[in-house]
Structure 1
């Protein structure tokens, strides 16, 4: 039986830079544990922060956009399974996979639902412009923003694939209710974490200061840093004049490092070699996300580190069981600052949330629970792929029409480049 799996990555996975990088390594591990020989191909430039794939038993391959060299590569490899990392990779390479290995199982890992993140960002910006003040968080996004060109492209990619891996149950509900995507083409697959291997770390009295963390290239994280600087930290610092906020994240741009102000206790520290260690030293994590989608790796790390957090409804979406959240929720500046100060001062509350956080991995995100579900689903689909595809006529229709237009555009670009 062919057990070759090809992952077409948007970037080379950087587990220490983003939750997306960690998520990719979790998927690779689950495929390997299912007996697959994994190949990882990407058109992105290699990164010094990328995981050492050969050391993990993975064969890397640099590929090019709009280039027939990929055709030779995939035709020779003949994978039984192709996993597209985000819908953009399915757009670029899906028609080539369809043409040269049509029987391969086609899987899309959405990472997060891009059209939802985009819609929330656009709706938030529109509300700020209209109100000229702090806008309400757009948890309930309007169709005006949701039904965008990004949505057309992403939903088409989801329908063209045999199965899409969804990190958030909230996003599955949106896909089924707002876009009528069949449940048989969706699989709930959140973060797949090993049980915490570290102790909770220093206790309440041994910790001090606040921490915020997130890749600066991710727009929701950069907006959260600006929100902290402009609205939240001044309110918190007024009540806790000796406290500091330590901000970590990969790829900080100059506009971020320029916000560093030691006198105000607003310290932009950039890259963290060990995210768990720096989070574990803080008393409270702040994650004031005003738009976004998916699950938040920073809040997983906070729970693993025994560090209670304050976040928004956007940050908490899909993360916790109701009534057992290891965080405080707040959606406005005054409310958020008050919650941060309260958690920083209240040892009893802090200890309660810490204990709830330490059980989070086992309750919702255990690798031992979710990896076997993925492996079983893939085996089932591979054994009945023809029948599965017959049941999804819209998928066949989109592959017939959409992939032809994508193919012709790619071939036109390649021909033009050769001139």
Structure 2
């Protein structure tokens, strides 16, 4: 098959969980010996991965420009994957016009409208927000995002909790969705034994891209409320905060006297995670699955998180590590985990088991490929069954098309 991926950004696996999840999807396609082209209108960053080294062609594309039509007509992809709904809005109508028989696959990474609604609720309450009122959830953002899901032939959802929300609250047909979580290689017993022990590790770690609002909020909550409680009881402990693109407002929080260290970019996430004794993820809002928790499982670093952080991580099973939404009790759990080797080791072993069962690359990659091949065989009947999607493509895509063409004409006039 000939695959075109339209990226919102160029993949940066060392910067975000979304980056390394995208690479896992691309690797799954390449493992089939499928031809893969990755195209994006974003500027190439210095931290982007080397896609040509993985056998993937790179192409820069432009927004609101008919040059994309020429490009895709020449490429003739069998499948086009949109990286988040904004790319489907921008390019979906062009794909349908130029390559109507190409499968249109949407990868959400997380459900943006849910993350946004929880953010608004947390701003109002200052608390962890898992369930949000309908007036926040049924937003214009939700209408745009779910419309993109309905227009697509299949949408990859990283969290089963979000599939439940879409099917039960928004009445999305389950046949349009596929649960496709993080895909990683298992941590074998020999690898587990080589990791640093409880006594060889020290300090707390926090990790996450500073551009992601839930991560920045977590840093502020730690600084203002949670970390002072931990530090008062563990006077020698330090909190090391890693993340890509730290802004000045973050670096200004750096305070060695308080044991609060803004470390910034981590060249090797696994290395710094393996040296830490406890991972903290005090997320008051967010959506999807949390890559920082998956990384911690693989590195044998037990975590303390909130109900938002733990959501969907263990599928139908129980999340096997401490969960607390109250700041004071969160700090108590962090101190207990840091100072008690026996429960720490138990949490570590349960984490390895969960990681290898829940995020196995081979199992999820096989399920994805099987679903794509089935969809290719049954594309016409699949689309006939999605009449709502056909209506949305007929109406909303026309408005998107005309707006894009108006912008393109305006740009040509300016250039001339």
Q: TM-score, normalised by structure 2?
A: 0.97
Q: Which of 121, 124, 133 is residue 123 of structure 1 equivalent to?
A: 121
Q: CA deviation at 1:127?
A: 2.2
Pair 1:290-2:284 in alignment: yes
Contact 2:157 2:181 survives alignment (8 Å): yes
Instruction: List aligned pairs for 1:109-188, cutoff 5 A.
Output: 109-128=107-126, 135=127, 137-188=128-179
Q: Where do 5+ consecutive residues of structure 1 fail to align?
A: 129-134
Show the counterpart of 1:334.
328
CA distance in 2, matches of 1:321, 1:62: 37
CA distance in 2, matches of 1:394, 1:321: 29
CA distance in 2, matches of 1:381, 1:207: 48
Q: CA deviation at 1:206?
A: 1.4
Q: Which of 294, 297, 302 is residue 300 of structure 1 equivalent to?
A: 294
CA distance in 2, matches of 1:148, 1:305: 38
Q: CA deviation at 1:324?
A: 5.2
Contact 2:160 2:315 survives alignment (8 Å): no
CA distance in 2, matches of 1:11, 1:403: 23
Tell me whether 11-20 or 27-36 shows the greater mean CA deviation: 27-36
Contact 1:193 1:365 survives alignment (8 Å): yes
Q: CA deviation at 1:142?
A: 1.1
Deviations along 1:17-54, one digit per CA (max 9) or x if unpaired, are: 00000000011011122332100000000011101010
Show the counterpart of 2:86.
88
Q: CA deviation at 1:230?
A: 0.3
Instruction: List aligned pairs for 1:186-205, cutoff 5 A.
Output: 186-196=177-187, 198-199=191-192, 201-205=195-199
Q: CA deviation at 1:326?
A: 4.0
Contact 1:326 1:354 survives alignment (8 Å): no
Q: TM-score, normalised by structure 1?
A: 0.96
Show the counterpart of 1:4.
2
Q: Which of 12, 22, 25 is residue 24 of structure 1 equivalent to?
A: 22
Contact 1:169 1:188 survives alignment (8 Å): yes
CA distance in 2, matches of 1:321, 1:162: 24
Q: CA deviation at 1:196?
A: 2.1
CA distance in 1, matches of 2:367, 2:12: 25
Q: CA deviation at 1:360?
A: 2.0
CA distance in 1, matches of 2:100, 2:60: 22
When the two structures are aligned, how many residues end up with a matched partner? 410
CA distance in 2, matches of 1:90, 1:323: 33
Q: Where do 5+ consecutive residues of structure 2 fail to align?
A: none
